[in-house]
Amino acid sequence: MLGGGSLDYRLFALPIVIGLFSWSLWRAFTRGELPPRVGGIRKTEAPIKFWVVVSVYGLAVAVWAAAGVLGIYRVFHPRPLAERIASYYPVAAVRQKVGGHAVLNCAVTSGYGVKDCHVVSESPPAMGFGPAALQISKLVTLPDRDRVGVHPGQVINLPIRFKLPVRKS
């Protein structure tokens, strides 16, 4: 998937359920008792058991919260662009183990992405680098260093270089 991960409902449902349980536990704590489903332990009658139960639940909440934060980080921080565009590498070029490049002519959007692209040149020809570059252009946002002197609506030439991925053994 291009976004680097899918938005799984379980990612948000579990922290919500644990949050509701923690809230009911805190509410019971402030009243001086635990919910009946945990045995109705009163803080004054069995303080050690009470604090053990509260500590275990607190630890569980902390672990699930950390897992949720890591999961949310994965959802909102996709893989690097180089990894995402590897799937667009032309099949014919992979078979022949050839690298190449294409130059696109595109309009800059207000968010410094590109739109309305067309292929100006590709090398080597007929290997599919032009169509692959058009697909990749949908993922491109100009980095800060390339935004200097460029304004939204301006037409630019966007070079895209294809380098064969190095296989790790």
- Contact yes or no for 75/123 (Cβ under 8 A): no
Query: With left for phi above 0 and alpha for psi between -120 and 50, is residue 97 left, alpha or beta?
Result: left
Beta-bridge mates of residue 104? 119, 158
Model pLDDT, residue 102: 94
According to the model, what pLDDT value does residue 49 have? 73
- The domains located in the chain, with CATH, are 9-76 (no CATH), 81-162 (3.30.2420.10)
The DSSP secondary-structure symbol of 99 reads -
Nearest C-alpha neighbor of 122 from the set 156, 97, 141, 99: 99
Report pLDDT for 34: 56
pLDDT at 146: 76
The one-digit pLDDT tens for each residue of the chain (169 residues) are: 334 444 555 556 666 776 777 777 777 767 766 554 455 555 556 667 767 777 777 777 777 777 766 666 666 666 676 777 788 888 888 888 888 999 999 999 988 889 999 999 999 888 889 999 999 999 888 887 777 888 889 999 999 998 876 666 5
CA torsion through residues 15, 21, 27, 28, sign: negative
pLDDT at 80: 72
SS3 call for 154:
coil
Q: Is 100 helix (H, G, I), strand (E, B) or coil?
A: strand
- The count of residues in the chain is 169
Q: Are 22 and 62 in contact (CB under 8 A)?
A: no
* Residue 105 DSSP SS3: strand
